[in-house]
């Protein structure tokens, strides 16, 4: 369907970088080699090695793809640092060998996004999947959008996780209850100089967001409205 809607989309593969036996992972290098050899742009008859650049949006798994290909074809550990947040790769790294025959090197690159985001909801979706750094958007705002998505899909796993009695639309209620449930508090100085203990709602928001990103709420397709 993607190829039908986008004239620029070709040779789409779905991959799981946590599974060495993934069919998509197995097809990546043969497909890349066929595309290079079939290209008329340059004369590659005497080409002895290939250097391929990996590009994509932040936190989409570029470094993870390089590492799993390196492990699959060379049986070596990963050479590119990975992390579940945007901005781990900050510059184009050195060439990383991932295949001997043919000799193939990959270049890891920083994630790229359009210079502007179409609307607020698109920005929140990007933030929810770590394409934007959390502190730039705000953990509580991201958690609020996550709550909206979960309720919209009748996914109420957060109720038990955050120590609630029933579903709610109030992110303040969720985070206060979550902080109490997790026994996370914050000491702050009051206007009169006294110290008061309050629920750490920011930590509760981080816990809720992390739970989503690690699959605690199950498999959720954020952009389901775009393919229905």
Q: If we measure between CA atoms, which residue out of 113, 173, 175 comes closest to residue 143?
A: 175
For position 76, what pLDDT does the model report?
64
Predicted local confidence at residue 3, as pLDDT: 57
For residues 201 and 179, the answer to whether their CB atoms sit within 8 Å is yes
How many domains does one find in the chain? Answer: 2
pLDDT given at position 181: 96
Same domain for 169 and 71, yes or no, is no
Same-domain pairing of 13 and 90 = yes
Q: What's residue 116's pLDDT?
A: 79
Write down the pTM of the prediction: 0.68
Cα separation, 16 vs 77, in Å, equals: 17
* Enclosing domain of residue 186: 120-226
User: What pLDDT does 101 receive?
Assistant: 75
Whether 115 maps to a domain, the answer reads no
The CATH code of the domain that includes 188 is 1.10.1580.10
Q: Are residues 129 and 210 in the same domain?
A: yes
Residue 220 near residue 155 (C-beta atoms within 8 A): yes
The reply to whether 181 and 91 lie within a common domain is no
Whether 113 is in a domain gets the answer no
Instruction: Give the chain's residues under pLDDT 70.
Output: 1-8, 40-47, 76-93, 228
């Amino acid at each position: 369907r993607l190829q039908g809607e986008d004239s620029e989309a070709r040779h789409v593969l779905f991959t799981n970088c946590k599974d060495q036996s993934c069919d998509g992972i197995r097809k990546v290098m043969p497909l890349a080699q066929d595309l290079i050899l079939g290209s008329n742009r340059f004369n590659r008859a005497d080409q002895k090695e290939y250097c391929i650049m990996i590009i994509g949006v932040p936190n989409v798994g570029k470094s993870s793809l390089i590492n799993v290909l390196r492990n699959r074809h060379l049986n070596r550990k990963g050479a590119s640092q990975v992390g579940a947040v945007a901005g781990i790769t900050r510059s184009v790294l050195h060439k990383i060998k991932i295949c001997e025959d043919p000799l193939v090197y990959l270049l890891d690159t920083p994630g790229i996004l359009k210079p502007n985001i179409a609307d607020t909801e698109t920005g929140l979706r990007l933030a929810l999947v770590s394409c934007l750094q959390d502190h730039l958007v705000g953990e509580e705002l991201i958690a609020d959008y996550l709550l909206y998505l979960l309720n919209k899909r009748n996914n109420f796993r957060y109720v038990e996780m955050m120590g609630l009695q029933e579903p709610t639309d109030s992110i303040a209620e969720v985070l206060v209850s979550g902080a109490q449930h997790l026994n996370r508090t914050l000491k702050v100085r009051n206007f009169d100089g006294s110290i008061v203990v309050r629920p750490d709602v920011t930590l509760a928001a981080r816990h809720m967001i992390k739970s989503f990103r690690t699959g605690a709420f199950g498999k959720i397709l954020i952009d389901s409205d775009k393919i229905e």
